Chain A
Amino acid sequence: MDQLQHRKLEPMTPNNNHDNLGKHRSMLGIFVVKFFQNKLAVLGLVMLLLIIGSAVFAPLLAPHDPNYQILTARLHEPSAEYPLGADQLGRDLLSRLLYAGQMSLLVGFAAMASATFIGATMGAIAGYFGGIIDSIIMRIVDILFSFPNIFLMITLVALFRPSPFWLIVSFAVLGWMSTARLIRGEMLSLKKREFVLAARTLGISKWRIIFNHIMPNAIGPLIVAATLAVGQFIIAESTLSFLGIGISPPTATWGNMLTAAQNLTIFQTAWWYPLFPGLMIFLTVLSFNFVGDGLRDALDPRVVEK
């Protein structure tokens, strides 16, 4: 009992470290401050919100029905009626562009989510267990990496119907490898940390350790990779649609709107037609990359807050 009293009265020298307890800033707070100090990241975020907003509110913003053809307005120049001009079938380009954003972003995000999920799970399992499991998973990664992605995608999409669903599936199946490598690497270093051993000595099961204790520590790189991946999947969707095997018309995507650029006459006479979808792809991917870089810097504890 004497001992117990003694302990409670004992001055807590380490507590002095808590002078700054008043201006307590959580990890999230630090992260937010750091992110907003990065001007490009903020620019990217603002652009991204605008783009996502314009896609979500496309029905409200679009001046015309995106699929309504007015043949007299074929390849109409940008004007008050058609702010960004009209395509070869006389459909309003602005309206199509807004609706195309829905599809392109949907495919990008859905593919990102599924690819990240597969990649993170595979990487975590490979990294944590090591040995033969690691070898098998990483050899699959190597094999998938060694195919030119575009051909595999074309094959996969051609095997099924070129619908958004199969597009997302084929992106997920072919796009998880870099995430898996990333998470495997994180896992290799994190599993050696003492808190993992500590968790094991506390009797916590290995799945719980992997997904509840280690994975949250790898969330930073994962978010960064996922953000950058959205941009890549949007490009991939555009590429396939451009080649005519992605999302098929009349559903508009930025990629299949660009198909027009394959026609030399359109390219020469109606510059606005391929320009705006191209610009949208460019701006969207660019802002995803800005945000991704911003997240990376903000989540990296080595980049100090100014």
Chain B
Amino acid sequence: MPDQNQNRRRSHGWMGIHRGHQARPLEWLAEKFIFLVSLSAILMVLLIFLFVAREALPVFLGQTNTALVQKPIPPDDLDKHSPAELQAYLELSPAQFAKMEKSTLRTLLEVKVEAQDEIPENFRKDPDAQANTTEWKYLLHPHQWSGYDHPESIWQPVGQIKKFNIVPLLVGTLKVTLIGLLFAVPLAVGAAIYVSQLARPRVREIAKPTIELLSGIPSVVVGVFALLVMASVLQGIFHYQTRLNAFVAGIALGFAVIPVIFSIAEDALTSVPRAYTQGALALGASRWQTAWQIVLPAALPGVFAATVLGFGRAIGETMIVLMVCSASVMSWSVFDSARSITTTIAAEMAEAVNGGPHYRILFMLGALLFAATFISNMIGDFVIHRFKNKLEGKR
């Protein structure tokens, strides 16, 4: 009865318990444990994203309000307002509100009135003091703030009137990341071609681990080096005015990205079948021609993936940019300062009032960043898989 036989071979029981439990219980246990660990990693990523999204949600729903001048409810009018009104006004959760005593509510109302009284006179008449600066138009479009002579995109989240325009941060992030990539990609890919195709085995054995060692340097150390040494040296060469600018940060960032791009690109170049190289050499191509015209084009998707993953690393890098430059200037010029999203979150989260508008907007920036790195890593991974399958002829 061949059918039954086949069935028995296929049936592994619940989670393999039938098969493995009898044969090698320890292996089975280890296997399941590893499975659980990897499952928890996925779960963790999901939880982190949910947490970030939850904290950022009020910004997306328009529930935050930063208007400086608001009409306070006088403490004596405590009984004239419905509980729902008071709860919303005092920004309390229903559970908190339910167990709150009347005297506490009164004190809270008094504090609100005091806060209004403390506003300096010159801000009271300011038209911006009535604006809720967390609305999308203030977050994305330049606005003519009082005291400025033309509309500007300004990130100044601390002060009487809080300005949360995120465009300078987006520009700063892109500026620094792109400079980093422009610096790192040619160097890293060049090094990868040399090490995988042209170098003698002895040179390769030294060069490869050395370049990969670069990723072992903590980014704080790179940051300090850039801040104290590179900034002065580069200023001496290029004679720009701002000593700490996006250019210095980008170059320093390049050092962090080079090992990432190098090791993936090198893998991709090495995994091009030897038959390609041998064929080209047999036809009379030089080693350089082979590397440049045969191997590199074959490995191009892998090199592209390396670049995309390098982009993900660069855009998420914090310390280097934080140390080297962090003025939120709205400018595309390379020699102006820049402030990246990661820098902003790292530098400002500590002092943002928990649950306040600034805190929410920082989380929104975090969510944006998460999405950006997630997508770029996905693209990178996807391309690498396609590339592997193609080289193995699995398509």
Q: Do A and B bind each other?
A: no
Q: B: which residues have CB within 8 A of A?
A: none
